[in-house]
Amino acid sequence: MAVAAALLLCVFILILSTRILVGAKVPVSVNYHFTRQCNKSCGFCFHTATTSHIENLERQQAALRLLAQAGMRKINFAGGEPFLYPKALGAMIDFCKRELRLESVSVVTNGSLVREDFLRRHAGQLDILAVSCDSFNEQTNVAIGRGSGDQVPRLYQIAEWCRTYGVLFKINTVVNRLNVAEDMNAHIAALRPFRWKCFQVLIVRGENDSDETLRNAHRFTISDEEFEAFCERHRGQACLVPEPNRLMAKSYLILDEYLRFLDRTGKQPSKPILEVGVEKALESVYWDEEAFVERGGLYEWTKPANGESGCGSKKELEW
């Protein structure tokens, strides 16, 4: 099974590379930030609560259908905090797997609002649950703006629920000035996420780049060398996926709360895809597909039938 999956990935990478060369864009993996609202106040957040807009469910599903028809294979629901809207989130998860037959459906969350009954109800359609955790020191989490003193026990509880209900458990960590010296090896080894994505804290113009924006992340920034030192300290974790700024900045295809593709080069967002279609919307923004492939944007993103995953698994990740 692993060999077959690896071969399929190689074939798809070849196809994607060919399309890149001829200028065609395929929205293989889309991050849909359907809300900007959040119940936390992380100081380095790069997708801030500048609006309270959220589309109705019918329009969201129509947009997701267009994306699937254009070649989307994976959807990641993000925010803001997606679990502020559990009913809509659950409906979209079920729609994407049952109706659109997407290979992978994932959610990224701060973990504070995740409930066991939600996972029990939707686990059959949810492949990956990614929980953001920037420190295993609660004082650091509070200083960042993510924690309220219970981030770590919540993380362990969610990891256990994911194992119980057969959902792949992932951890996202933003490496920044407050946690760059931390040694997280013991906790990562105990939690055994199938992927541990470590991002270098990123400055995004208009979101977190000055005192004029909702967040000013400059006090959290670190050098490339400091980020590399953090990754080197944790190199023994097989699930580690480092993501420095050079790979992160423009390699994500982001759909915002107005159903527009965002452009991280400073250009205006696209028109809503329900108005102009996916192809035309993609043509109007810059998405670095080569960096998407280089950072490991393609991997085995469908949960295995046997449920085996994690840093301790014998099965190696392709990326």
Spell out the residues 6+ positions from residue 50 whose beta carbon is closer than 8 angstroms to its own: 36, 207, 214
Do residues 262 and 284 touch, judged by C-beta distance below 8 A?
no
Taking Cα atoms as reference points, which of 19, 82, 27 lies closest to residue 270?
Answer: 27
Phi and psi torsions of 249, nearest 5°: -50, -45
Q: Say how far apart CA 118 and CA 115 lie, in whole Å.
A: 5
What single-letter amino acid sits at 285?
V
Beta bridge partners of 74: 29, 104
Catalytic residue among 42, 133, 231, 311: 42
Q: Say how far apart CA 271 and CA 3 lie, in whole Å.
A: 41
Do residues 218 and 204 touch, judged by C-beta distance below 8 A?
no
231 is catalytic: no
Neighbours of 186 (CB within 10 A): 9
Taking Cα atoms as reference points, which of 259, 258, 254, 257 lies closest to residue 285?
Answer: 254
Catalytic residue among 10, 38, 239, 311: 38
The full length of the chain comes to 319
Q: What is the DSSP annotation of 149-184?
A: S-HHHHHHHHHHHHHHHT-EEEEEEEE-TTTTT---
Beta bridge partners of 105: 75
Catalytic residue among 45, 96, 133, 311: 45
311 is catalytic: no
Do residues 204 and 46 touch, judged by C-beta distance below 8 A?
yes
> Mind telling me the catalytic residues?
38, 42, 45
